[in-house]
């Protein structure tokens, strides 16, 4: 969902303020969950880069 779509949803006169707030909170929660998942992926990739640079492996064998 884009910011434009979110803005259109919340600016429509069909919803009450409470409904708009609930919608925005739900959208925010979904975005935060997606951000968390993406951050975990970045952390995993960073660790893989670290392993390659240092020659370390998770299984303790060392080397490449």
Instruction: Quote the pTM value.
Output: 0.67
pLDDT tops 90 at residue 59: no
For 14-56, the pLDDT digits (tens) are 778 888 889 899 999 999 999 999 999 999 999 999 999 999 8
* Residue 7 banded pLDDT, cuts 50, 70, 90: confident
The mean pLDDT value for 3-23 works out to 83
Q: 9-20 burial, b if ≥16 CB within 10 A, otherwise e?
A: beeeeeeeeeee
* pLDDT recorded at residue 60: 57
Q: Which residues of the chain form beta strands (DSSP E)?
A: none
Could you give the CA distance from residue 32 to residue 27 in angstroms, rounded to a whole number?
9
**Tokens representing residue 37 in the block:** 């998942």
């Amino acid at each position: 969902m884009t910011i434009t779509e979110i803005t259109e949803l919340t600016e429509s006169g069909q919803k009450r303020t409470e409904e708009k707030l609930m919608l925005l909170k739900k959208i925010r929660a979904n975005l935060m969950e997606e951000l968390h998942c993406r951050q975990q992926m970045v952390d995993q990739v960073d660790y893989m880069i670290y392993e390659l640079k240092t020659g370390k492996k998770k299984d303790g064998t060392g080397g490449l």
